[in-house]
Amino acid sequence: MSLETIDMDRLNIRPGDRLLDLGCGEGRHSISAHLQSDASILGLDLGLQDLRTARSRLEEFPVASEKAGSCNFVRGTGRTLPFADNTFDQVICSEVLEHIPDYPSFLKEIQRVLKPGGLFAVSVPRYFPEWVCWQLSDAYHEVEGGHVRIFRANDLKQRIQSMNMKFLGRHWAHSLHVPYWWLKCLFWDNAEEHFLVKQYHRLLVWDLMQQPWLTQTLDRLLNPILGKSVVMYFRQP
């Protein structure tokens, strides 16, 4: 099971491209894109601690400094992106829009800074697994900065298509994470100490580090049925 939700191969990142990772968090997609390409990668997020963690994680890869491209992290908001029109060849927005009350304003800014013919990758929590989390725990979505909506994938797809972006395809990711979040929501008040939550978390860490055939295959088979995230790709006209 990969840490990345977005499939970098679908972004066709070429040497010299400029890629924006909007809401980069701790930098998993930015760093992955940098290690796999010679593009200029920019991760943008509001969280100072997340940005510090992203910079620290980048330094853990000595090869990163030898790349022809670059990877930088800056603080900012998607409501008013500090970039000129038609700046980026690719934009990633992964697990961000569900936190944003006025998410259409984010989409407009993404379209503004994306070059003609540029690629846009977006992921949000899948409807059913997310709905179950909301039923199991009010605190899950009522925490500060938490999720403010549950997207239906087709509604988001149609919203983006209404901006004249061409839909290129979709897939699902992280099915093995779904039981973990259901358990965490079920035992929210003492989730960090609960036996089942701790044991399932150990399983996820083991899967990530060892990548055994069994769990990798299980995750791949279950993703279309129970993937935690839905990922969609679009092309700017």
- Range 44-59 burial, b when 16+ CB lie within 10 A, else e: bbeeeebbeebbebbe
- What local confidence, expressed as pLDDT, does residue 54 receive? 97
pLDDT value of position 2 = 66
| pLDDT number for residue 62 | 80
What domains are there in the chain, each with its CATH number?
Answer: 8-126+144-174+228-235 (3.40.50.150)
58-90 residue pLDDT tens: 999 887 777 889 999 999 999 999 999 999 999
Q: Strand 229-235 to strand 88-94: parallel, antiparallel, or no bridges (unpaired)?
A: unpaired
Instruction: Tell me the β-bridge partners of 237.
Output: none
* Apex 94 CA angle, 146 and 3, nearest 5: 100
Half-sphere exposure of 97 (CA within 13 A, CB side): 30
d(CA 77, CA 116): 22
pTM exceeds 0.85, yes or no:
yes
Ramachandran angles phi, psi of 93, nearest 5°: -140, 90
Q: How far apart are CA 89 and CA 79, in angstroms?
A: 19
Q: 90-134 pLDDT, tens per residue?
A: 999 999 999 999 999 999 999 999 999 999 999 999 999 999 999
